[in-house]
């Protein structure tokens, strides 16, 4: 699925639905990626579809930089709210803590969404 949204972002550029931005190290190696776009059938709501940082580069501020950059671009497009979803699985605890640190609030939870015992956790932030 990530490949599909990245391909769409590359093919359609700034005018497309999906907007993708990559963080690189000093050697032009991708170490992080954010993909976002307007939420269909809403006014001013955007989804962050993907936020990924290379495991060896996590906890270095790259994810925060990517999400802050996306937030600024969303503001310029008259965004008023950003929504992101993640797993409720214990493996994703640090992901949920990251979003909370970035001032996202848990807005909903769908029990057993991904699998039995693995909820979908929905975070939102008004900007």
Instruction: Give me the pLDDT at residue 7, please.
Output: 58
Could you tell me the CA-to-CA distances from 2 to 26, 30, 81, 103 in Å, in that order? 24, 15, 22, 25
Q: How many domains does the chain have?
A: 1
Cα 3 from Cα 67, distance rounded (Å): 19
Helices of type H across 1-127: 2-12, 62-76, 93-101
The Cβ of residue 16 has, within 10 Å, a number of other Cβ atoms equal to 14
Per-residue pLDDT of 30-41, as tens digits, reads: 999 999 999 999
Q: Which stretches of the chain drop beneath a pLDDT of 70? A: 1-17
Residue 87 is part of which domain span? 2-126
Please give the DSSP secondary-structure letter assigned to residue 91.
Answer: G
Q: What is the CATH number of the domain that holds 95?
A: 3.40.630.30
């Amino acid at each position: 699925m990530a490949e599909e949204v990245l391909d769409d972002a590359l093919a359609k550029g700034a005018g497309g639905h999906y907007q993708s931005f990559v963080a690189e190290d000093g050697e032009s190696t991708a170490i992080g990626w954010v993909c976002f776009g307007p939420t269909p059938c809403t006014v001013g709501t955007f989804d962050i579809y993907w936020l990924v940082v290379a495991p060896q580069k996590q906890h270095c501020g790259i994810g925060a930089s990517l999400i802050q950059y996306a937030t600024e671009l969303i503001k310029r497009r008259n965004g008023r709210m950003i929504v992101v979803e993640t797993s409720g699985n214990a493996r994703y605890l640090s992901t949920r803590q990251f979003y909370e640190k970035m001032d996202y609030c848990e807005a909903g939870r769908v029990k057993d969404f991904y699998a039995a015992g693995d909820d979908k956790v929905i975070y939102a932030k008004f900007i």
